[in-house]
Amino acid sequence: MKLEWESQYIRKIQLKEEEAVGQDRYPFTLPIIRNFKGITFDSCVTYIVGENGMGKSTLLEGIAVAYGFNPEGGTMNFNFSNYDSHSDLHNYLRLVKGPYRPTDNFFFRAETFYNLATNIDQIDAVGSYGGTSLHEMSHGESFFAAFNERFQGQGLYILDEPEAALSPLRQMSLLARIDDLVHEGSQFIISTHSPIIMAYPGAKIIEITEAGINVTTLEETSHYSIMKQFFEDRERLLRHLLK
């Protein structure tokens, strides 16, 4: 059964402005934090989208760490670090939680997934990922093993650029997996550049630009419009790009 808004595991995030005001250092100089007015998670699937450098991954990391996840990813039981590079944004975020706790959880980070796979081997936890070391699979297969084998439902899943190693067909398969898990009482917060992945029906899409933060639709995102323009008028765009 899908979660209602009142039952979302994370209902809202706010910036502790009394502590953040006047900060002129990273990550407070990022557009997403500079213009931050809070986010309400009133859909089971929320997308954070925008160009590189807007601060999407930093925000997802801050949400995840504030909730109790390891900065490099995994479940809330993971506690490893190969390179302590995460920001201190989590100290300035206020999470408004729902009345229930998820029975499953996972923070997926494309950029540190190799480190996570290594830790899974070290603690002999490959059984939860299909029984085969993630290092023995292709990059895309290992990603999908986490989504398909490890995610169990009634969970909170924070995904940062899950499309990084997935073909378009696998991205569509991920949409189907998200739908299965949503109907099993799960909540997703996803940062992505993929118009395919951000196409989940009824999802909330939040686009970050230099001008601010706006709730939008798939068709109104810059990602979608650029891809649409490219495929509808490819020759003209290529002439312009390659002149």
Domains of the chain listed by start with CATH number: 5-241 (3.40.50)
Give the H/E segment covering residue 230.
Answer: helix 222-232
pTM of the model: 0.91
Residue-wise pLDDT tens digits, 85-142 = 678 999 999 999 999 999 999 998 887 766 766 766 666 566 666 777 777 778 778 8
**Weakest mean pLDDT among 142-156, 180-194, 198-212:** 142-156
Return the number of other C-beta atoms located less than 10 Å from residue 151's C-beta: 21
Average pLDDT for the chain: 86
β-strands 204-209, 93-97 pairing: unpaired
Are 61 and 93 contacting, i.e. CB atoms less than 8 angstroms apart? no
Element (H, E) at 38: none
Q: Tell me the helices (H) and strands (E) count for the chain, helix number first.
A: 8, 9
